[in-house]
Amino acid sequence: MDLLPHTRWTRVRTVVNWVNLSTPLGLALARAGGATVVRRGRGTWVAGGYRWGFPRAGAFTVGSVFVSGRDVDDLLGRPALLRHEDRHCTQYAWCIGPAMLVPYLLGVLVSWTVAGDHHSYNPFERLANLADGDYPPPSTRFRRR
**Residue 24 falls within a domain, yes or no?**
yes
> Is residue 28 one of the residues assigned to a domain?
yes
Contacts 24+ apart (CB under 8 A), 48-57: 48/72, 48/73, 48/74, 48/75
Lowest mean pLDDT among 13-17, 53-57, 76-80, 109-113: 53-57
| 118 within a domain of the structure (yes/no) | no
Domain range spanning residue 53?
8-97
Q: To the nearest whole number, what is the mean pLDDT of the chain?
A: 90
**What is the tens place of the pLDDT at every residue in 86-97?**
999 999 999 999
pLDDT over 90 at 139, yes or no = no
136 pLDDT above the threshold of 90: no
pLDDT of residue 140: 55
Dihedral sign computed on CA atoms, order 81, 129, 53, 24: positive
Asked if residue 114 is part of any domain, the answer here is: no
Is position 137 within any domain? no
**Interior angle at CA 32, CA 59 and CA 20, nearest 5:** 75
Give the global pTM.
Answer: 0.88
Q: How many domains does the chain have?
A: 1
Digit-coded pLDDT (tens) for 97-112: 999 999 999 999 999 9
Domain membership of residue 55 (yes or no) is yes
Instruction: Identify whether 131 is part of a domain.
Output: no
Is residue 116 a part of any domain in this protein? Answer: no
